[in-house]
Amino acid sequence: MELLPRIRDELAFAGNIRKSYLYRFLMNFQLWWPIWVIYLLKERGLSYTQITLLDTPFFILIVLAEVPTGAVADRFGRKTSLMLASTLFAVAVFVFGIAQNYLVILVSYTAWGLAQTFQSGADAAILYDSLKQIGREDDFQRINGRLWAVTSFAVLIAMLIGAPIASATSLSFPIVLSAAIGLAAVPVAASMHEPRHQRDPDEENYFRTVTRGIREAWHTPPLRYIILFSGILFMATFAPLIFLQPFLVHHSVSVGDLGLWQAPVRAAGIVSALLTARFVARAGQRAAFLAMPLALGGCYVALAGVDHIYAYAAFLPVGMVAGMQNPVLSSYVNRRIPSERRATILSVQSVVGSMMLAAMEPTGGFVADQLGLRALFLLFGVLVLTVGPAVLWLWNRVETGELSAAGLAGERPSEAVPVS
């Protein structure tokens, strides 16, 4: 009699993998992808500084709400968190598409940021725990790589479709249409099977879940530095890619063709996400980590030095880093944290990147307004080439020391270091 429920559970957990693909596709098949910056510049009349300042409260909200919403996922269920995420996201996108003034756009950004905090961490956590329930947690990096490939594929198709739709209708129409697509993710999340995990009685308290997650990230040095490194990469890929659309328009690319020019960057992300596990297996974890900031820095220096449409090719490696960074880094972080605080600590990882973006993105917008796009790219190139390898060196030092200590003791480092 016990065999049938167990088989049912295993099938349901395996189904979570497919549903994770579908959920991520719907949340990223957004037709505003190829035109949203141009929409704000041309239809709403905003400057680069104003556009990037919109992201400041967006990411400050993420900083304030990311860990608590991660704890909500751990405490009340990951699929509940995902349902809230897709509902808020759909409302935010709709308001963004009909907004007529800066304040309304700001409100939509606020709801958008809150939606992101409910999704961040919860989607990776439910995937990892589902794999663990069926004894396939070692497949997480490969499957998460595919998940990010699905994400990039959804964006790619949306880019190819969204730009011609905007050219044929208006810049706001594909944004409003995208809200309905996001809303379709709600029933997908509702149909997921919630993994069960053991809970320590002390961890039933909501605020203890939050504080213990933060303390665990801080008091585990390799985890602390790799989360900081992850934030640097997130900031260094996200912020400059915002300016790809203005870069193309500056070089006389029409609105209808914006998707065709941006699609190869996303395609590069798909390829790199699919090949991430193979690349890490051959090059090694440390080499894979170091390759990412070096590639980003080299591309931004090239964009700063060449004022020509052909410099667009430098965005392709940026897309590759964007595709591989999450599968590589999330796999490492997941191996170091326990199930009951997985969503919380993954949210801490997102908080770090959000804090960096909240500071650096408006700075980049101001530099672009005052000195031009090439100065912006130079700023991020110098930043990622200096700070990224320095933080990685700190991580490597403590990671090597921990491995050496474990070797002397005749033990392997534990998967997660508990913090009392």
Residues 340-350 have a mean pLDDT of 68
Residues 166-175 have a mean pLDDT of 95
Higher pLDDT: 327 or 230? It is 230
Whole-number CA gyration radius for the chain: 21
Q: In this model, does residue 280 exceed pLDDT 90?
A: no
Q: In this model, does residue 382 exceed pLDDT 70?
A: yes
Q: In this model, does residue 240 exceed pLDDT 80?
A: yes
Q: Write the single-letter amino acid at 113.
A: G
Give the pair of three-digit tokens for residue 9. Answer: 């559970």
Separation in Å, CA 118 to CA 61, 77, 114, 231, 380: 12, 11, 7, 18, 29
Residues 145-158 have a mean pLDDT of 84
Where residue 158 falls among pLDDT bands split at 50, 70, 90? very high
- Maximum CA extent, the chain: 71
Sort 297 into a burial class: Cβ within 10 Å, 0-12 / 13-18 / 19+.
Answer: buried
Residues 40-59 have a mean pLDDT of 88
Cβ atoms of residues 233 and 406 within 8 Å:
no
Give the number of other CB atoms < 10 A from CB of residue 215.
12
Residues 169-177 have a mean pLDDT of 96
Domain boundaries, the chain: 3-408
Where residue 60 falls among pLDDT bands split at 50, 70, 90? confident
Per the prediction, the chain carries an average pLDDT of 83
CA distance 353 to 326: 12
Q: Could you please state the CATH topology (level 3) that the domain comprising 3-408 is classified under.
A: Growth Hormone; Chain: A; (1.20.1250)
For 92-149, the pLDDT digits (tens) are: 999 999 998 999 999 998 888 888 888 877 887 788 878 877 777 777 777 877 887 7
CA distance 188 to 70: 20
Q: pTM, whole model, 2 decimals? A: 0.77
Least confident of 93-97, 120-124, 154-158, 337-341: 337-341
